[in-house]
Amino acid sequence: MNQEDIVQAAAILKRGGLVAFPTETVYGLGADAANPAAVKRLYAVKQRPVAHPVIVHLGDALQMSHWAQTVPTAARKLAAAFWPGPLTLILQRAAHVNDAVTGGQGTVGLRVPAHPVARALLTAFGGGIAAPSANRFGRLSATAAEHVREEFGADIDFVLDAGRCDVGIESTIVDVSSGQPALLRPGQLLGSEIERVLGMPLAAPGITAPRTPGTLAVHYAPATPLKLVPATALGDELTKLLNSDRRVAVLALDILPLKSAQLVWLTAPVAAADYAHDLYANLRWLDRACCDVILVERPPASPEWTAVTDRLRRAAG
Ligand code: TXA
Ligand code: MG
């Protein structure tokens, strides 16, 4: 990939086309956020229900005031501390923002990504790029260009390929649209780091919080049924399934305890950040192993595992 690809991708966005691009979290599927027809096509290709808002990606934090009605102090502080980076802020929307982008809600999600290719694309394009994760609705996010191609084939116009994403799981989402900032989706950037910058505790999302489909009970899911199992119960669960002649795929922190033709075993990295980096690629791989079930060893309970455990819970439904 070179500057010519970036220029071509920006031109496709300007014409209302769909471009997949890498961010430091996961690949996004982008459309011109100011073009309702382009965003409509984005929803259709993603098979995403229209009431579910998408994040608008920006080249810099100064553009926040174009998309948000007001930029509260909390938003300024968080943008200054963490942008460009894996953080999405939910703000009251400016009047001109498309219903297609906001899902008809009064808020808009904004993020300035750190990935150099995303930044180059945003600079070349100039405007806001509406981009959900580059996967069909409810499915595993894409952390490599080949996952995007598998997912969408010729339904999209261009894929900017920059290899694997560093973080591997989606951005942390913080709602700053009302007086009390709330954590809507955990990510690599921890709640505690956000609280330190804000100087106040984050609320859990209340019933008045904006809807986030990433917080639906079933999301980020492989096609094979997935079960999250405590480490201490993994052996028994495995024996039970193998004895009843099931084919089992396992994602564990430990090494293979027994050999069986019915067993596919993947040992994941023991550091949370490395585990997250590999998570979706690992689940895609296990999903292709034609097993009856995917067993995942539940990660430790400490804060750095919160986002990974959240994604695994949703994958389990
Ligand atoms: O890391 C990420 O956030 C990636 C990369 C591509 O930026 N994007 C991503 O997009 O994960 P998506 O659409 O898969 O998830 C975005 C989440 C959804 O749960 C959506 O509901 C929420 O952000 N969201 C977007 N705009 C919102 C709004 N105005 N109010 C509430 N939630 C919003
Ligand atoms: Mg998504």
Residues 124 and 240 occupy one common structural domain = no
Percent of the chain with pLDDT over 90: 89
Which of 52, 212, 310 best tests ligand 1's pocket when mutated (most atoms within 8 Å of CB)? Answer: 212
List, for residues 167-208, the tens digit of each pLDDT value: 999 999 999 999 899 999 999 999 999 999 999 999 976 655
Protein residue with least CA distance to atom 7, ligand 1: 28
- Ligand 1 — pocket residues by CB below 6 A? 23, 25-26, 28, 52-55, 88, 90, 102, 105, 107-109, 111, 131-133, 170-171, 173, 210, 212-214
Q: Do residues 71 and 91 touch, judged by C-beta distance below 8 A?
A: yes
Using pLDDT thresholds of 50, 70 and 90, give the confidence band for residue 1: confident
Asked whether residue 210 carries a pLDDT value surpassing 60, the answer given is no
- 216 assigned to some structural domain: no
How big is the chain by its Cα radius of gyration, in Å? 20
List, for residues 220-264, the tens digit of each pLDDT value: 889 999 999 999 999 999 999 999 999 999 999 988 778 899 999
The DSSP H or E segment spanning 81 is helix 73-82
What's the pTM? 0.95
Encoded tokens for 52: 């579910």
Residues 90 and 151 occupy one common structural domain = yes
Give the end of a domain, one of 198, 216, 246: 198
Ligand 1 atom nearest 103 alpha carbon: 29
- 288 assigned to some structural domain: yes
Report how many domains make up the chain.
Answer: 2
**Mean of all residue pLDDT scores within the chain:** 94
CA 119 to ligand 2 centroid distance, Å: 20
Residues 146 and 273 occupy one common structural domain = no
Query: End-to-end distance of the chain based on CA atoms, in angstroms?
Result: 38
pLDDT at 218: 66
List, for residues 87-110, the tens digit of each pLDDT value: 999 999 999 999 999 999 999 999
List, for residues 272-294, the tens digit of each pLDDT value: 999 999 999 999 999 999 999 99
Q: How far apart are CA 297 and CA 285, in angstroms?
A: 16
Asked whether residue 211 carries a pLDDT value surpassing 90, the answer given is no
What is the distance of C-alpha 25 from the center of its chain? 7
- 241 assigned to some structural domain: yes
- 205 assigned to some structural domain: no
φ, ψ of residue 25 to 5 degrees: the values are -90, -70
| Domain extent for 130 | 3-198
